[in-house]
Structure 1
Amino acid sequence: MSYRHTTATWIISGFVLVLAGYLFYDYFESSGEGQSGYRRGPPPVVVTAATAEQQFWRSQLTSVGTVQAIQGIDVTTEVAGKVAKIDFNAGAYVETGDLLVKLDTSTEYAELRSLEAQLEKARSDEHRARQLVDRGFISEAALQQTTTDTKNFKAQVEEQRTRIHKKTIRAPFAGKLGIRQISPGELISPGTSIVTLQSISPVFVNFALPEHTFAKVYPEQTIEIQVAAYPAQIFTGKISAINPKISEKTRNFTVQALLANDEALLQPGMFADVTIDLGKQRPVIVIPVSSVTFNAFGESVFFVRQSAQQSGLSGTGTPTAPEAGRDQSRDSHAPEHPPALIAERGFIKTGERRGLMVEVLKGVQAGDRIVTAGQIKIDEGASIIISDDDVLQTAKPRPKEP
């Protein structure tokens, strides 16, 4: 009996010791006596950060536009017919009047010969009628009828010659041909596209600007454009026309610029980034574009702030009551830890964007530290750690290759 009592006593004693150790560890960690020196909670999130800085930007107007040929059409036919000859090569340059396509005209020429014969007979009848009228054998009305017949056949002959002429298709202006859309022997109808013809030296670039910028643009003003096909190259031109009407739907007006395009690099339909330099500099506060979060409430960023809720500190940074009574000599030898950082959300208003940077009109001051990557993992007041690796240092505003 005594043996069983002794065993039970040892088991209960061991359980009590384990429970006491757990309670002591929990108290030790929560009171800030552990090696970490911080209260327990969610682990800090690793983010990258950048400092808002003041720069001087030249005032610019930016827009997106489309390259348009100064003259461009899809060559078609006005009359139906079978393709007898194709006299051009795809992608070739042609001059005004160069032969492109000939349609079969054998039937039309046969009809023309018939009409010419009828015209000749009508002329002969008219000549004989005039002689008979002079002799008084026929009336003036009969002569007038033969004259009308002559004019009618003459008009039919001219119409037939015009129809034959239209079956010879020539280039209406000089330019570059595209890919042909027909084949020899094919029967084509009016409006059928034969080939595209584009005059691309020079070219137009059409773009839109908001109405409040109307007074800032004028004819012969210099513009710069960039296209995705040649990201490292800047093309320059001058404004050639400004639409005097502002759209009631968009409150934008259309601007057309003329670019030389001597090397024929710009092609109709290309998407173009347009910049107009207004020649003035202004101070701006800029931050990386990646730091801005867009949502239904507006634009916001996470500021990097120093936390006041550290171990042994009150909200004002003064020692708490239990800590003030501790042995000062022991605290003087305690290791010094870096200040804890938290993320604090702030709403801002952004302006112009250039490359990887965006102008901040309201909400950020020069010198503020802003989270640039990792925002999706943090909330208001989240504990954070700043990483030394900044992905923006190797990023490029416009990739050179896809």
Structure 2
Amino acid sequence: MHIKSWLTALLIIVITIGGLGFFKFQQIQAAMAMAEAFPEPSAAVKTHITQSREYVPSYQVNGQIVAKQIVQLQNELPGIIYQVNFAGGDKVNKGDLLLSLNTSEEQAQLASAKATLKLRKSNFARMATLVKQNKVSQQEFDLAEAEMDIAKSNIENLQSIIAKKQIVAPFSGVVGLDTYQVGQFLPSNSAITTIVGDDANIWVDFQVPQTKRRLNVNETVVVTAIGQNREAQRFAAKIVGQNAQMQASSRHMIYRAEINDGATHFRHNELVKITINAKAQQLVVVPNSAVVRNQLESFVYQLVKDDNKAYRAQKLVVSLGERLGDEQVILSGLEIGTLIATEGSFKLRPGLLVYPEMTDDSSLSAALMPMPRNTVELN
């Protein structure tokens, strides 16, 4: 009796489990059928076939503008300022008197020296007549001649002192600010002002690291101004010279280039940027929209055909070079002739079905046509 009850219960359990299993199987089959009927995710993108292009990489260094003529005017002798004939920013000509010191004492000494010279000349002329008549000795004649020469030297010395107290422009140009006043005592070797020559051309000095290629005389570099609203000011400069040796402290070579008519745009000691071109290379350049960037890497999506001749996205990690406007230089990771996604590439993921947009090239358009499938586009 007990055995029959156990068998009945077991049969009921088996029937229940079998029924539940069959019901679940039917649910799974229905879900699979629904999944097959649902469109596969896809994306439409614009495409580009990679090509090589001559790429001239460049780098920038800092440069400093150097006037072709510049000097800081200083006084050799001390004295009281008697006259100041310039103001900061004035244009002066070569030989113009800029500043003079009081020379009243030297002028008085000069007048005395001239009177002495007149007397010495008269005495020398008298001695010259007497020596011919043998009325004076040759020694007395030589002494008179020496005294006359000494008087001449005294005059020349005083004239030199007076000239040194007259500060004149050594060349034509523009003077800097004046900081001294009439009546002020000026010690020797005081910095009076700076004068910059009015040459239309100007130099720019810059340093290139030892790791870069050596530049040649007559090679051209590009000088860019620094400052608000001046970034667009670019000027060609031709290298005119270089230092005889490498800088021991920095391992840099110093070069000097000349900017034609640069004095109207730059000032002495002004900081500028120097752009130097390196050796030309053949590299892959792609539209910037083709490159997807994240914190770890940069990559593009190559479009490859699957077994059904439909295009799938394949991720290619690339190494980026310089950005050229709307284009990006690819240093490595991408070969010439590769079909890649451009606009819309941000929607892609590896393995995603892709519909490339048609191009103007009919043969390429035919090559891009995928096999018809039930799809839904990803937004």
TM-score scaled by length of structure 1: 0.56
Please tell me the residue identity of whatever aligns with 2:296: F
Alignment of 1:196-207 (within 5 A): 196-199=194-197, 201-207=200-206
The residue aligned with 2:113 is 115
Within the candidate set 116, 125, 128, 2:126 is matched to 128
Classify 1:358/1:113 alpha carbon distance in 2 versus 1 (closer, same or farther; 3 Å).
farther
The residue aligned with 2:76 is 78
The residue aligned with 1:208 is 207
The residue aligned with 1:240 is 240
Alignment of 1:176-191 (within 5 A): 176-191=174-189
3-state secondary structure, aligned to 2:136: coil
Classify 1:61/1:262 alpha carbon distance in 2 versus 1 (closer, same or farther; 3 Å).
closer
- Displacement after TM superposition at 1:172 (Å): 0.8
Whole-Å separation in 2 of the counterparts to 1:99 and 1:61: 47
The residue aligned with 1:159 is 157
- Displacement after TM superposition at 1:101 (Å): 1.4
Residue pair 1:181, 1:193 contacting (<8 A) in 2 also: no
User: Is 1:174 the counterpart of 2:172 in the alignment?
Assistant: yes
Paired residues, number: 263
Whole-Å separation in 2 of the counterparts to 1:91 and 1:209: 34
Whole-Å separation in 1 of the counterparts to 2:195 and 2:208: 30
Please tell me the residue identity of whatever aligns with 1:59: P
How far does the alpha carbon of each residue in 1:323-359 deviate from its partner, in whole angstroms, 9 at most, with x for none? xxxxxxxxxxxxxxxxxxxxxxxxx99988999x998
Within the candidate set 279, 288, 302, 2:296 is matched to 302
The residue aligned with 2:11 is none
3-state secondary structure, aligned to 1:231: coil
Segments of 5+ residues of structure 1 without an aligned counterpart are 1-52, 293-300, 306-347, 368-402
Alignment of 1:279-290 (within 5 A): 280-283=280-283
Q: CA RMSD in A?
A: 3.9
Please tell me the residue identity of whatever aligns with 2:283: P
Residue pair 1:119, 1:153 contacting (<8 A) in 2 also: yes
User: Is 1:266 the counterpart of 2:260 in the alignment?
Assistant: no
Residue pair 2:283, 2:329 contacting (<8 A) in 1 also: no
Classify 1:220/1:264 alpha carbon distance in 2 versus 1 (closer, same or farther; 3 Å).
same
Moved beyond 6 Å, runs of 4+: 53-56, 284-287, 348-355, 357-362, 364-367
The residue aligned with 2:87 is 89
Classify 1:276/1:89 alpha carbon distance in 2 versus 1 (closer, same or farther; 3 Å).
same
- Displacement after TM superposition at 1:257 (Å): 0.4
Classify 1:54/1:66 alpha carbon distance in 2 versus 1 (closer, same or farther; 3 Å).
farther
Classify 1:177/1:302 alpha carbon distance in 2 versus 1 (closer, same or farther; 3 Å).
same
Whole-Å separation in 1 of the counterparts to 2:321 and 2:147: 78
Classify 1:177/1:358 alpha carbon distance in 2 versus 1 (closer, same or farther; 3 Å).
farther
Classify 1:134/1:252 alpha carbon distance in 2 versus 1 (closer, same or farther; 3 Å).
same
Please tell me the residue identity of whatever aligns with 2:131: V
TM-score scaled by length of structure 2: 0.59
Segments of 5+ residues of structure 2 without an aligned counterpart are 1-49, 300-317, 341-379
Task: Tell which structure's C-alpha radius of gyration is larger.
Answer: 2
Whole-Å separation in 2 of the counterparts to 1:186 and 1:136: 59
Whole-Å separation in 2 of the counterparts to 1:76 and 1:358: 56
The residue aligned with 2:139 is 141
Classify 1:151/1:169 alpha carbon distance in 2 versus 1 (closer, same or farther; 3 Å).
same
Classify 1:223/1:121 alpha carbon distance in 2 versus 1 (closer, same or farther; 3 Å).
same
Whole-Å separation in 2 of the counterparts to 1:354 and 1:79: 60
Within the candidate set 57, 66, 69, 2:67 is matched to 69
Whole-Å separation in 2 of the counterparts to 1:214 and 1:281: 15
- Displacement after TM superposition at 1:104 (Å): 1.7
Please, which moves more after superposition, 168-177 or 244-253? 244-253
User: Is 1:256 the counterpart of 2:256 in the alignment?
Assistant: yes
The residue aligned with 2:353 is none
**Sequence identity percentage:** 24
3-state secondary structure, aligned to 1:78: coil
Alignment of 1:47-58 (within 5 A): 57-58=55-56
